[in-house]
Amino acid sequence: MRPSLQRPSTEHPPPGASTTGSPERRSAPPARRRPVTASLSRALSSRALPFLALPALVLVFACLAALAFGARHVDPVTTLEALGAFLTGGGDAAAADIDAAAALSRIPRTITAVLVGAALAVSGVALQGATRNPLGDAGLLGLTAGASLAVALGLGLGISAGLAGVMVLAILGTLVAAAVVYTVASAASRLGGGPGGTPGPLSLVLAGAAVTAGCTAVTSALLILSPAVLERFRFWTVGSVARSSLEDAAWLAPVIAVGILMVFVAAPGLDALALGDELAHGLGSRPERLRMVLLGATVLLTAAATALAGPVVFVGLLVPHALRRFRPASTRVLVLGCALWGAVLLVLADLAGRLVVAPQEIHVGVTTVVIGVPVLLLLLRRKAVSL
């Protein structure tokens, strides 16, 4: 008999087969990057769906309540009829009824509250991840104050041209404020013997408080010296959605959507970034590029929110901290949940401000401060952060 000749097998071993004794172990092929649509479908898995369905449902009812209640209450049927007329283009005819007109007049501010709340909450997730700072918030770190000062300067010098000019000024002010805060905090950490001059969470907050105080003082001086600027800027000093318009909301909605999408795409890298740059490099991430994407998204979201409503603070601190306690299925689910709950928070804050002292109203920026300060003190008391 002829000896049987066996060719060396080129097939891979079946899954789960032992490779012990093989001369060399084949390296696993590099993981392919999932497209955004696949990531979105994975984020909406069976485990994540209830986590997102609840805030979506609450947001619908919160918006309906915001349209119905205020200085003049509107019954639910009239509110739904007015909303239907607005969606079908028959708002002018429905405005003949005084109750329907009241509901229609609240649509712009409600839409603006949804956009601003979502933008600020997602910017909080991005800022906390990029700086590894649990107190990361655009208001606490002085970014909104810098944007407001830039807008006030533009109005005083007459160089702002409509909402586009306000948006550009807000972006520039946010960038300058971020650079000053980081420089001051790094210098303070270096003098205090910090590791490599890397600013700690409280160092950033203290530097942000100093920048906020300085920007607020200069802004107040501009408003006192220029009555024309005061009249145009007055509602921005504390944050308000009272003078919102559908045109402004429609113009800035794509900007906010792009910022949220940037954070959503970069979200998986936040877990690696939290471990430190060296470990993130070892896990295949690029911390420098990821941090630039997150900070760029933060600037876009903060500038757009400030251009629409002025300096509204604590939303980016409250919402991410609250949702992390429920352990979302993934970081992308956290981003989507923050967008929804941030919108809910600002809509309800605006509604509460209209109901507490009706027929007058409390600006939404004041309401968020009243809610946010106790939460910040609680975080510090529990030693959730370190200097």
Domains (ranges, CATH) in the chain?
Answer: 110-381 (1.10.3470.10)
Q: How many whole angstroms separate alpha carbon 23 and alpha carbon 147?
A: 62
- Predicted confidence (pLDDT) per residue in 196-238, tens digit: 556 666 778 788 889 999 998 988 888 888 777 777 777 666 7
Mean pLDDT, the chain, whole residue set = 80
- Predicted confidence (pLDDT) per residue in 95-129, tens digit: 667 888 888 889 999 999 999 999 999 999 998 88
Its sign, for the CA torsion 95, 98, 103, 109, is positive
Q: Which residue has the higher pLDDT, 232 or 74?
A: 74
Query: Closest by alpha carbon to 304, among 254, 241, 364, 256?
Result: 256
The answer on pLDDT for 9 being more than 60 is no
- Predicted confidence (pLDDT) per residue in 347-371, tens digit: 999 999 999 887 888 889 889 989 8
What are the residues whose beta carbons fall under 8 Å from the beta carbon of 231, sequence distance 6 or more? none
pTM (two decimals): 0.80
Q: What percent of the chain has pLDDT over 90?
A: 25
pLDDT band of 94, cuts 50, 70, 90:
low
Give residue 115's pLDDT: 97
Whether the bond between 14 and the residue before it is cis, its omega within 30 degrees of 0, is: no
Q: What is the mean pLDDT of residues 255-265?
A: 95
The answer on pLDDT for 43 being more than 70 is no
Q: CA angle, 274 as apex, 333 and 39 as ends, to 5°?
A: 30
